[in-house]
Structure 1
Amino acid sequence: MVHVLSSRVLLRPTDPERSRAFYGRTLGLEIAREFGTGPERGTVYFLGGGFLEVSGRSTAPTSPDLQLWLQVADAAAAHKEVSERGAQVLRPPLQEPWGLVEAWIADPDGVKIVLVEVPVDHPLRYRPGL
């Protein structure tokens, strides 16, 4: 097995400044580092246990198959906050049949982002007998 020391998702937006505004201001992600200069410079954001790098430029939107899963403490509060900051809401928070609370938004290029709340009694957090 390859010993992975760090990881990040690389995102090549069609409009880097617009995407940096979305991830930095609308979502409120903290910057881990920046590199380069000019409009296509790189910005790396903290994503909990990983990173999101917005750098370069694409001539076409990202594949609709790419989706970001962001676990938050409170999906309703996160949804309200990003909605008030202008995020495109695809779906408000709902409890799914599998028990997670999910709200769906999209970035400026249409990348789907799920804001996920893991309830305290969900198997992802709750382990009887441990």
Structure 2
Amino acid sequence: MRGHRRLEGVLREHPRLKVIEEWDGEDGRGCIVAPGEGAGGFIELSQIHLDHDRYQGEFSRPFTNDKADLRLRAGSVNAWVQRLNGRWPFEGPIKRPWGNCYLWLRDPDGLKVAIFEGAV
């Protein structure tokens, strides 16, 4: 994954996410982050070496559509604007008619990420 370390750094700054597992070995490197211990959802970031038996060509290509995206609820979108300004390109914040405020960005592989505050 291009820019893996940069994205990992951004996720580590999210106050509700916690790195629950990390690895860096001969097969690759990565981490799993979750919204706290015992949470039902996880985000896994992996860099798998080309010669690994699980490697697929798609791992080296960017996302080409927004069929899937990642949404992270935050206490303050404005705090994320301050964190990301000058470090990572983003769009927003934009307040939607239903009251939620959104900030959109792309991870290094082109995955659309929405950081929002408000109702789920």
TM-score of the superposed pair, with normalisation by structure 1: 0.65
The alpha carbon displacement at 1:38 in A equals 4.1
Matches within 5 A, 1:1-130: 13=1, 15=2, 18-23=3-8, 25-27=9-11, 28-29=13-14, 30-35=18-23, 37-38=25-26, 40-47=28-35, 49=39, 50-57=41-48, 58-64=59-65, 65-84=67-86, 86-89=87-90, 91-118=91-118, 124=119
Structure 2: distance between partners of 1:101 and 1:60: 31
Q: Which runs of 5+ in 2 are unaligned?
A: 49-58
The alpha carbon displacement at 1:97 in A equals 1.2
Tell me which structure has the larger Cα radius of gyration.
1
1:60-95 CA-to-partner distances (Å, cap 9, x unmatched) read: 1134222110000011111221224x1121x11111
Is the partner of 1:41 in helix, strand or coil?
A: strand
Which stretches of structure 1, 4 residues or more, deviate above 6 A after TM superposition?
A: none
1:25-68 CA-to-partner distances (Å, cap 9, x unmatched) read: 23425321113514722311124642211114412113422211
Identity percentage of aligned residues: 25
Is the partner of 2:34 in helix, strand or coil?
A: strand
Structure 2: distance between partners of 1:108 and 1:39: 21
Please say if residues 4 and 47 of structure 2, whose CA atoms lie closer than 8 Å, have aligned partners that are also in contact: no
The alpha carbon displacement at 1:110 in A equals 1.5
CA gap of 1:22–1:36, structure 2 versus 1, over 3 A, is: closer
Is the partner of 1:55 in helix, strand or coil?
A: strand
TM-score of the superposed pair, with normalisation by structure 2: 0.70
Is the partner of 1:76 in helix, strand or coil?
A: helix
Is the partner of 1:69 in helix, strand or coil?
A: strand
The number of residue pairs the alignment matches comes to: 102
